[in-house]
A and B are shown apart, each in its own frame.
Chain A
Amino acid sequence: MVTLKINEHEIKVAEGTTVLEAAKKLSINIPTLCNHQDLCVAGNCRVCVVEQKGARTLIAACAMPVSQGMEIQTNSLKVRNARKHIVELLLSEHRADCTKCYKNQKCELQTLANEYSFGEHIFLDLVEGHAYTIDRSSPAFLKDDSKCIRCQRCVRTCAQLQHVSAIAVANKGSHMKISSFHDRPMSHVVCTNCGQCVNRCPTGALTEKTYIDQVWDAIYDTDKHVVVQTAPAVRVALGEDLGYDPGERVTGKLVTALRQLGFDSVLDTDFTADLTIIEEGTELLTRLKKVLVEGDKTLALPMFTSCSPGWIKFIEHKYPQMLPNLSTCKSPQQMFGALAKTFYAQKRGIDPSKIVSVSIMPCTAKKYEADRPEMRSSGYKDIDYVLTTRELAVMIKQAGIDFRALEESHYDSFMGSSTGAGVIFGATGGVMEAALRTAYEIVTGRSVPFKNLNILPVRGMEGVKEATIKIEGTVEEWRFLEGAELKVAIAHGLVNANKIAKAVSTGKASYHFIEIMACPGGCLGGGGQPIPTNAEIRQKRMEAIYSEDMHMDIRKSHENPEIIAIYEEFLEKPNGHKSHELLHTHYTKRESY
């Protein structure tokens, strides 16, 4: 332990603690910008400088480990002057069109400016003489260099959490900027559109591309029938943007709000999550049988899940040789889209050309996914607009809805009923757990041998999880699996996905089924979720997801009555002809640079 003094308060902390962390323990706030709990220390914005007795210069609190007898002043005149200068310098190179900015009032630089810079700016405006790029090429997000303050959170996120490095630092001095490979547009580099950078950008330099106005236009177009679906992770995070604490479930109010916004039908992605389980579970069991029993060389094991569009783009760029290992199932969003303009249109007697299909997602990559050319199997664009959780919160505010005062209500039918298995798709390990609940039952005729159906080994925030499920007491059709051990693995965050993909591609891992989610924590930590994000917030959202699961009457996908009905009325059988036409897809090898 190390004893030090901060503003005359003595504190004892563990060796290796930073001055910033020690100050936090004393409830002394030191402002930061480049610092982020999910990322390695950078120490480059210098906003957190503090005075250390005896030191020649000020020190960056975020990067300085404590030492015995250290005496720190966080609010001396020297510190205040330097901090004010630093904030003013950042403002001088930042295009502060705050009233027009999507991040207005959610901008960390603006908050600091509020505290340190009012009245006349000290320094000259550097934005004027500079040529900046505003990259609108990605369907998922905007990159506006004129608002960038070079904190490099995005660069660290992309490298450290996602192992992608779509963006990196280029040039030096006054020309230093955050750039893509050879300055190419973001749509033409190895970028998964995961939006983790967007989640961590302190300013408006990285924001999702918004489709709010287009959705309003569709809602007010009387000729259109607008259906909306909500992803599992939205209901446990939306509240954060509307004044609730992290981890609050707002499912019922969410449904009411969407109805009040004017959507014609409020439906649930959880329904197609259940459908995914039936399709993907069947696909897995079929693959196991064909590969292991019939020796079919055309099919690949292990099978990877395919729900996460960030992961899909990652594997297309980085491990194209393993594309046959991906499940051919579309993601729940896209299954929903394909059914909305076919089955749903038929059932409701609506001309599919008049249907506008909107989805509310915790994700920015879903915007890209909806734009993929193969996602038009209904004959139309299956999903017209994707809004993030954050965009929905904006719409709710725009409509003047008092969210807290809303009554709770239920999703519409058809395609609105779901199970606990569908909702846990929002957390890492959730797809795996949902799939096991169903697949185990198909194979053995019994529920998974876990208390309350909670398959705890596949849950939690560990980067890579592994589990083995012994299959015993199989029914006749699946007798070949008797006594077999099903080996599964789960990864979240592409840096972890890469570990598994590498192990599989080099033959160092022998799994049967692998769940991968591109974002830390799974969809609940998605790039479209409320800002800020950190491990603690993601943990709370995760607890909310599992609590939502426990509160559902039905907790296995194959018991969802609407799922049973859709096979009877429309799809005929899992992995059948119609399924293949509407619910399955193929993948594309992409350049690795």
Chain B
Amino acid sequence: MKNKGLTKVDLIFESIDVRKVMNKAFEMTSDEIIEQILESGLKGRGGAGFPTGLKWKYTAAEKDPDKFIVCNADEGEPGTFKDREILDKVSSKVYAGMAIAGKAMGATKGFIYLRGEYRFLLPQLYVELHKFHKLINEIGYDFSIEYRMGSGAYICGEESALFESIEGFRGEPRNKPPYPTVSGLFAKPTSINNVETLVTAVMIIEKGPQEYVKLGTKDSRGSKVFSISGDTPIPGIFELELGMTVQEFVNEFGDGDTKAVQVGGASGFCVPRKKFGETIIGFEGVPTGGSMKLFNSSRSMYNVLHNYLEFFTEESCGQCTPCRVGCQQLLLGIEKVKKGDSKSTYLNELVKLADTMKVASKCGLGQSVGNAFKSIVENFREEIIY
């Protein structure tokens, strides 16, 4: 595949006339909106990458007169801070995205589930929301949005745990099926989308899908906002066209001594230097919700992994066995190997355990613990043992 190189883009934060784009969408039929999103190839920007158009299509197909659009703003993945910036800078586009999604699938009610730590954004968000409600009232369209606050649990970013939380219950993932598009928030058909996904959808409507597909690759259309941190001289938020290799990324953001990049946060993959050139950032390589953390040679990958496992041991909801106990075993296991209390071959058992967690855990949290674990243990085995 031809590499596209590294291109900076300004789509998400571009200031646009929100009224105009909503009017444009409201003049379309539900099917037309969904068709445009499908055509754009947009995949969810929270990390899992489910095609947004399909999600809307499935929700639209449900007969229930009550449906919800939920915006997942529980940005909890370690090293991700782009949704905060989007809400801070262009919340009106988030609201517009929800209204357009609402129109596409027949929902008149939206909820934004905001990460507890982002409470400080609320006063300004409410000012903008008030303006939005006034605007939509002027347009004469029936749609409203409410905020719901998270309380600091990582698991509440998982869609069904998020619904439980909004409903007032303990944030624990549900069994699927039924999927949210059939039975989501308050058991009603629900489309739940990431903040960035909604804004991207607005821009697709604004510019047209033909324009959007010019960016990115076949499997990873468009551009994406990255949260760049770690050993980099220029940490921060950058919108980049999808399809670049890790090498190209490191050339731009590295400090000249990058030995590994953690793509996708704690639940993502660790790419070692020797694989920089062959690894594409995107759904054909390593997908990411935006978190890019660079590590230079001064960093102990044991410490990095230990830190991630401590995080998961704390943030697993504790409901299902593979995740609750598995995380504790992985953490204690690498500690024992490091201390020499367990043989280094015990790492092989732990890798198998990570595989079990990947296939047997109830939700995405437990299923993705193995990503970081395996990619770090396999690539930096000596750092874990010695």
- The interface of chain A, by Cβ under 8 A from chain B, is 41, 43-47, 49, 56-58, 60, 63-65, 78, 81-82, 85-86, 89-90, 92-93, 122-124, 126, 129, 149-150, 152, 168-169, 171-176
Chain A residues with CB under 8 Å of B3's CB are none
- The interface of chain B, by Cβ under 8 A from chain A, is 153, 155, 170, 172, 175, 177, 312-322, 324-329, 332-333, 336, 342, 349, 352-353, 356, 358-362, 367
Contact of A57 with B315 in the complex, beta carbons under 8 Å: no
Q: What are 12 A-to-B residue pairs whose CB atoms are below 8 Å?
A: A46-B320, A57-B359, A58-B359, A65-B177, A78-B359, A81-B352, A85-B360, A86-B356, A90-B325, A171-B318, A172-B316, A176-B318
Contact of A123 with B329 in the complex, beta carbons under 8 Å: yes
- The residue from A90, A169, A172 contacting B321, defined by CB atoms under 8 A apart: A90
Known: A123-B349, A124-B333. 9 other contacts (CB 8 A): A43-B362, A44-B362, A57-B361, A60-B362, A93-B328, A150-B321, A168-B170, A173-B313, A174-B328
Interface SS majority for chain B: helix
Cα A60 to Cα B320 with chains together (Å): 11
Chain A residues with CB under 8 Å of B320's CB are 43-46
Contact of A173 with B314 in the complex, beta carbons under 8 Å: yes
Interface SS majority for chain A: loop
Contact of B352 with A44 in the complex, beta carbons under 8 Å: no
Contact of A150 with B324 in the complex, beta carbons under 8 Å: yes
Cα A326 to Cα B177 with chains together (Å): 46
> Chain A: which residue is nearest B324 at the CB level?
A176
- The residue from A57, A60, A89, A175 contacting B358, defined by CB atoms under 8 A apart: A57
Instruction: Using known A-B contacts A57-B358, A57-B359, A126-B328, determine if residue A172 contacts B317 with beta carbons closer than 8 Å.
Output: yes
Q: Which 3 A-B pairs have the closest CB atoms?
A: A176-B318, A89-B325, A63-B175
Smallest CB–CB gap between B306 and chain A, Å? Answer: 15
- The residue from B175, B315, B328, B356 contacting A82, defined by CB atoms under 8 A apart: B356
> Chain B: which residue is nearest A152 at the CB level?
B319
Contact of B321 with A44 in the complex, beta carbons under 8 Å: yes
Cα A175 to Cα B327 with chains together (Å): 12
Smallest CB–CB gap between B64 and chain A, Å? Answer: 18
Cα A90 to Cα B175 with chains together (Å): 20
Contact of B362 with A172 in the complex, beta carbons under 8 Å: no
Chain A residues with CB under 8 Å of B332's CB are 124, 126, 129
Chain B residues with CB under 8 Å of A47's CB are 321
- The residue from B172, B319, B336 contacting A124, defined by CB atoms under 8 A apart: B336
Cα A47 to Cα B312 with chains together (Å): 21
Contact of B322 with A89 in the complex, beta carbons under 8 Å: yes
- The residue from B312, B319, B359 contacting A44, defined by CB atoms under 8 A apart: B319
Contact of A169 with B353 in the complex, beta carbons under 8 Å: no
- The residue from B312, B313, B352, B367 contacting A57, defined by CB atoms under 8 A apart: B367
Cα A172 to Cα B313 with chains together (Å): 9
> Chain A: which residue is nearest B350 at the CB level?
A123
Chain A residues with CB under 8 Å of B322's CB are 46, 82, 85-86, 89
Cα A86 to Cα B325 with chains together (Å): 9
Chain B residues with CB under 8 Å of A56's CB are 359
Smallest CB–CB gap between A145 and chain B, Å? Answer: 13
Contact of A89 with B367 in the complex, beta carbons under 8 Å: no
- The residue from B155, B317, B325 contacting A92, defined by CB atoms under 8 A apart: B325
> Chain A: which residue is nearest B357 at the CB level?
A85
Contact of B360 with A174 in the complex, beta carbons under 8 Å: no
Cα A169 to Cα B329 with chains together (Å): 21
Cα A57 to Cα B325 with chains together (Å): 19
- The residue from B177, B315, B326, B358 contacting A172, defined by CB atoms under 8 A apart: B315
Contact of A126 with B327 in the complex, beta carbons under 8 Å: no
Cα A60 to Cα B324 with chains together (Å): 16
Smallest CB–CB gap between B150 and chain A, Å? Answer: 13
Contact of B321 with A173 in the complex, beta carbons under 8 Å: no
Smallest CB–CB gap between B41 and chain A, Å? Answer: 21
Chain A residues with CB under 8 Å of B336's CB are 124
Chain B residues with CB under 8 Å of A171's CB are 318
- The residue from B177, B318, B356 contacting A175, defined by CB atoms under 8 A apart: B318
Smallest CB–CB gap between B80 and chain A, Å? Answer: 20
Cα A544 to Cα B342 with chains together (Å): 58
Chain B residues with CB under 8 Å of A65's CB are 177
Contact of A124 with B342 in the complex, beta carbons under 8 Å: yes
> Chain A: which residue is nearest B320 at the CB level?
A44
Q: Counting chain B CB atoms within 10 Å of each CB, which of A57, A152, A174, A175 scores highest?
A: A174
Cα A56 to Cα B349 with chains together (Å): 22
Contact of A169 with B352 in the complex, beta carbons under 8 Å: no
Chain B residues with CB under 8 Å of A86's CB are 321-322, 356, 360
Smallest CB–CB gap between B48 and chain A, Å? Answer: 12
Smallest CB–CB gap between A88 and chain B, Å? Answer: 9
Contact of A82 with B359 in the complex, beta carbons under 8 Å: yes
Q: Counting chain B CB atoms within 10 Å of each CB, which of A45, A78, A86, A171 scores highest?
A: A86
Chain B residues with CB under 8 Å of A78's CB are 359
Chain B residues with CB under 8 Å of A150's CB are 318-319, 321, 324
Smallest CB–CB gap between A195 and chain B, Å? Answer: 25
Instruction: Using known A-B contacts A81-B352, A150-B324, determine if residue A41 contacts B175 with beta carbons closer than 8 Å.
Output: yes
